């Protein structure tokens, strides 16, 4: 990612070092000018730039300066920043550093005040960890005792970007809700709050189909970070699911090659999960085939349905409709036989895309899956197994997007990690009351987590 860092103090310097080491393109600025950052630039390979250039054409801009200096930033700082995610790392220290800021003293959350000064929404992160811990305590994904840091904000997509960046430098990100709900925990009498871990799914066993890439991998890794043990499947690309298992260790993650269009293979996945981990608590039906199997040019030259190859049609329908049926059938039979309850999550798409010209058979396949989800949820409810629908909320950067998409268009795509927080919620006991609902990741928040009833349908 292209990251701009405004402020080169302890936190800003640490983040510059960590993000450069993780392979990101970093530009760093301070109030004294680029020439004063020559040593940091030489050490890290980051670009030393002006404050304005640190915000220009970036994916993420991190503002890590004292609260009292926020109003001194250029008023047009973000004029050329596009859709950059803005991160506020600061804490308000009225006695030690910042003086009295009346709006914050009157009860406005400090990051809301920062957002008001900047004229941009912000995500709160990196405010509760020491700089030396950023440098020294990052650990690989799945490591025991890996530190988890809260991420607060009002935009689920922006928070997902920040959580991904935390993972890149060795920390778990925890969605801490909105700026308002998180505000009381941001500081404790002027001291940083303690770092913590999040074992919300400890003891649970999940199966994630299509778990080697895109949305499936984002969900599988979120479950693993939250303490679950996970079976990830792929139909063909064994190396992708093996990479997940190797990163987390075979005691936490198991890779299985399985074609979800084969009922016997689906039965074998469940048997594998039980043999490896002793149970199945969660099934995520994510494996799917998209429009590129009809045509690599479906975005700019839609294929009419009568020109669609029957084999391509059959492949999409069998994977996206029959696959979830076969997997749910196998997993639910085990859940019912063992009386454990459970959660089934069917991954879907926006209603508008279901009805979009040129999106047949992909759109119809997801419409069929949503209809099945409503029916299955009703049938499962008396048995203590819940079933819900989850979707990212827009076009997402996954393997379904053709390689030839222009970089400008690709930059507007959602990141797969946006789906992680609601996916964890649906797997957790917090959603034990919820079945037959539809959750959209771009709309999801910890304060309003339940979405809408899926039976409302695809609309007019």
Q: Where are the domains of the chain?
A: 2-185, 205-456
pLDDT at 247: 86
pLDDT at 460: 46
Which CATH code of 2.60.40.10, 3.40.710.10, 3.40.50.720, 3.30.1490.100 fits the domain covering 205-456?
3.40.50.720
- 282-326: pLDDT as tens digits: 999 999 998 787 877 777 778 889 988 999 999 999 999 999 999
Which comes out higher in pLDDT, residue 48 or 187? 48
Domains 2-185 and 205-456 fall in the same CATH topology? yes
Q: Which pTM does this prediction carry?
A: 0.60
Q: Is the dihedral angle over the CA atoms 153, 156, 160, 161 positive or is it negative?
A: negative
State the average pLDDT over residues 416-429.
94
Residues identified as active-site: 362
Residues whose CB falls within 8 Å of the CB of residue 225, separated by 6 or more in sequence, listed in order: 141, 142, 146, 148, 167, 172, 198
Is 2-185 in CATH node 3.40.50.720? yes
SS (H, E, C) the chain: CEEEEECCCHHHHHHHHHHHHCCCEEEEECCCCHHHHHHHHHHHCCEECCHHHHHCCCCEEEECCCHHHHHHCCCCCCCCCCCCEEEECCCCCHHHHHCCCHHHHCCCCHHHHHHHHHCCCCEECCCCCCHHHHHHCCCCCCCCCCCEEEEECCCHHHHHHHHHHHHHCCCEEEECCCHHHHHHHCCECCECCCCECCCCCCCCEEEECCCCCHHHHHHHHHHHHCCCEEEEEECCCHHHHHHHHHHHCCCCEEEEECCCCCHHHHHHHHHHHHHHHCCCCEEEECCCCCHHHCCCCCCCCCCCHHHCCHHHHHHHHHHHHHHHHHHHHHHHHHHHHHCCCEEEEEECCCHHHHCCCCCCCHHHHHHHHHHHHHHHHHHHHHHCEEEEEEECCCCECCCCCCCCCCHHHHHCCECHHHHHHHHHHHHCHHHCCCCCEEEEHHHCCCCCCCCEEHHHCCCC
- Summary mean pLDDT of the chain: 89
pLDDT at 181: 58
- 213-232: pLDDT as tens digits: 899 999 999 999 899 999 99
């Amino acid at each position: 990612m292209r990251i701009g860092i405004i402020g080169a103090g302890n936190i800003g310097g640490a983040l510059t070092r960590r993000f450069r080491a993780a392979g990101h393109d970093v530009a760093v600025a301070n109030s004294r000018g680029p020439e004063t950052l020559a040593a940091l630039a030489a050490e890290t390979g980051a670009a030393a730039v002006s404050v304005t250039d640190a915000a220009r054409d970036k994916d993420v801009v991190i503002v890590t300066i004292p609260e009292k200096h926020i109003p001194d930033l250029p008023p047009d700082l973000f004029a050329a920043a596009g859709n950059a995610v803005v991160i506020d790392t600061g804490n308000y220290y009225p006695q030690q550093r910042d003086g009295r800021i009346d709006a914050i003293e009157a009860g406005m959350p400090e990051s809301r005040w920062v957002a008001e000064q900047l004229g941009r929404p912000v995500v709160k992160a990196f405010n509760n960890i020491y700089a030396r811990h950023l440098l020294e305590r990052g650990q690989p994904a799945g490591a025991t005792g890996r530190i988890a840091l809260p991420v607060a904000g009002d935009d689920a997509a922006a928070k997902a970007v920040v959580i991904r960046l935390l993972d890149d430098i060795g920390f778990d990100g925890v969605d801490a809700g909105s700026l308002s709900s998180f505000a009381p925990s941001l500081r404790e009498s002027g001291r940083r709050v303690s770092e913590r871990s999040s074992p919300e799914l400890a003891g649970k066993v999940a199966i994630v189909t299509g778990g080697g890439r895109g949305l499936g991998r984002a969900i599988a890794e979120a479950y693993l970070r939250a303490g679950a043990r996970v079976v990830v499947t792929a139909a063909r690309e064994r190396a992708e699911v093996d990479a997940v298992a190797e990163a987390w260790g075979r005691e936490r993650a198991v890779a299985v090659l399985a074609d979800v269009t084969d009922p016997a293979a689906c039965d074998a996945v469940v048997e594998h999960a039980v043999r490896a981990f002793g149970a199945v608590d969660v099934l995520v039906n994510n494996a799917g085939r998209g429009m590129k199997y009809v045509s690599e040019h479906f975005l700019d030259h839609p294929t009419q349905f009568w020109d669609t190859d029957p084999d391509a049609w059959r492949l999409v329908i069998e994977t996206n409709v029959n696959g979830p049926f076969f997997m749910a059938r196998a997993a639910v039979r085990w859940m019912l036989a063992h009386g454990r309850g459970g959660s089934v999550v069917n991954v879907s798409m926006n209603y508008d895309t279901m009805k979009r010209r040129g999106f047949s058979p992909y759109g119809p396949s997801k419409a069929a899956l949503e209809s099945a989800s409503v029916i299955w949820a009703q049938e499962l409810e008396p048995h203590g197994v819940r079933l819900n629908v989850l979707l990212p909320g827009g076009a997402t950067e996954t393997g379904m997007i053709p390689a030839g998409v222009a970089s400008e268009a690709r930059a507007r795509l959602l990141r797969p990690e946006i789906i992680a927080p609601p996916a964890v919620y649906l797997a957790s006991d917090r959603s034990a009351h919820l079945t037959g609902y539809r959750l959209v990741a771009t709309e999801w928040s910890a304060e309003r987590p339940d979405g809408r009833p899926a039976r409302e349908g695809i609309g007019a």
